[in-house]
A and B are shown apart, each in its own frame.
Chain A
Amino acid sequence: MSNMILLGTRKGTVIFDRSNAGWVPRPIEHPGIPVCYAARDPRDGMLWASLDHGHWGPKLSRSRDNGSTWEDVSSLKYPEGARYIVKYLPTPDFDPEAPTGQPEYKDATVFKIWNLTFGSAEQPGRLYAGTIPGGLFVSDDGGDHWTLNRPLWNHESRGGDLFAGEATSENKWSGTPASIDYGVFEPGIHSIVIDPRDPQHMHIAVSSAGVLETTDGGQTWMGRNRGMLNDYTPEPESAWGHDPHFVMSCSGQPDHLWQQNHCGVFYSEDGAKKWKKVSQPDVGVHFGFPIAVDAHDGRTAWVVPARGDMERMAIGGGLCVARTSDGGQSWQSFNTGLPQENAYDIVLRHGLDVSGDTLCFGGTTGNVYVSEDRGETWQCLGNHFPPVYSVRFG
């Protein structure tokens, strides 16, 4: 059972400690600085925050003393020669049938460090970071130095090895609206899932491309989007072009993966070899951003349903959390303790987490809720936090 919750918010890092009085927030850290992700490394207790400075560029910040002091880490950078094929947000007069011209290349710089995932216990110091514009970075010294994973960056689905020269294949990766704040429309890696049985085995999720898998520690990557359906292209079952909002696995049954996608909730029980759509729009389970998975039972997951995708708000002005315990065949919706009128919260992709029987989520309107009974009843931890970007148990 975790005794810490970390929030990444628009105005800093909020840390809650569990005490006899319940969950108690500390004074905000990184005050005034947008923090798009904050988490605690369970291996060494290091606290991490991904700072999304509006002016000064993305930086990592870490605390070795449980949040008393923090140090900036500015070492995550794209190497010289890292390029990508520029994507543009389709304009109203965009014609998907129009012949494409020559690819336009751009030198890569970090826009956002969107996710930080800690390696296995057998790999002390190993960290992964997912970024916009779509690079996966690896550190083996606790974040002092970072290396771009080139096999993924050079993947044939992105045009091949652009370090070496011109594109040798078509770029299938598209942008994420989350990149528009930076004046671009580029892809981002927001989910990094490590197989606890074998740290060489990982899945990542890219908006907007889909899920990729490696079984050799990142030397080779394969698209894993079979069974996925997207509603917004002429080819819903295409190999690429999917928009996973978040992907997570069951740590005790790692072949059970869950995906809250732009186009529904998807579930795989065979390590993402095949996905199955398990949305139930009639009970509101379809659109949303985050998903949480039970640590022991791979058939149990939670989502925070939202009305999508044109509105992106709570459904009918009321918040609920839905849970399945049978692999998505049925969903149960819970709203006890959650507002049922005049609620317009949207919970972003890293805004929900589970630890044992305890769940917590926070939304863009600054409301934070916790449940100690597997999502069935909820209590509010506060209504006036800054917009919440991430919620993670420490």
Chain B
Amino acid sequence: MTTPTNTVTTKKPDVLVSVNDAKLHYAVGGAFAAMRGKSTVVKAVDGVSFDIRRGESVGLLGESGCGKTSMGRLLLKLEDITGGSIHFGGEELSKIRRKELKSFRSKAQLIFQNPFDAINPRFSIRQTLAEPLENAGIPKAEREDRIIKSLELVKLPEPAQFLDRYPHQLSGGQLQRVVMARALILQPEFVVADEPVSMLDVSVRAGVLNVFRDVRDRLGLTAIYISHDLALVRYVCERTIVMYLGRIMEDGPTEDIVHEPLHPYTKALVAAVPVPNPDQSHDPLPIGRGAPDPRNPPSGCVFRDRCPAAHARCAAEVPQPRPVGSRLVACHLF
């Protein structure tokens, strides 16, 4: 693997998260298959590099299996990195010891995809929100107040009435607000939101997205928003990173990507997003059939087997991200 073009500069004070050639490889097929040399290595994340400045909101966009969720988990140290490094506030994640993990957990938080699953059904809302406070050693007397404040932050009306309720007594929109409140209760600097509205009904999605935007701006959060839906990413993020089979295809300002996608994969992705407007004309998709197979990616450029513009060089050489205007694009066409 060659060195990626944008190397880390942890000295820059405004960079909060710095990812350098991050890899998450794991063997599938179990220990016995590994012994016989029969296991396959799945490269969920394969040489990804990017920096996130403080206060920036970045969308991680891609189809299922592209590694966006794995990337998010790496950023939160929920998965052990198998290559490269991630720095958070100048500190390398893999060097964080068990004892310091608590302090990291209070700074970097996750908003879950499925609110119906993210809260223990046996826990009341009060118990749910008290857990992080307890772990952070916040005295009991202060907890109630912080819980109410965090529920107010996510715009749950009359928060006190929810404290003794159990998850099944709340609607999806309310639950997702509780999930957000739990993530924000320790006042983190960095939040990863993993498709936070995909399980919600359409009419309440907008409310949750608005709360997310509002809270982020108010607290000056640095945020990663993981989604397969460019329209949603566009609504909350000024910058978008497009991933495909564990690698970055394109990285740049969201508006530029929406209006003039450069990478052939991004082009297909933008063209495929359905639009709620009946008069919108649709061009045929500029992409081949088939689906990405993480167990068996093509050589060279991982997208080449579906790419309409693939040529000989794409099979031979992995395209490295290159600056094109305001963006980085990993394609031999640029």
Tell whether A and B belong to one assembly: no
Residues of B within 8 A of A (CB): none
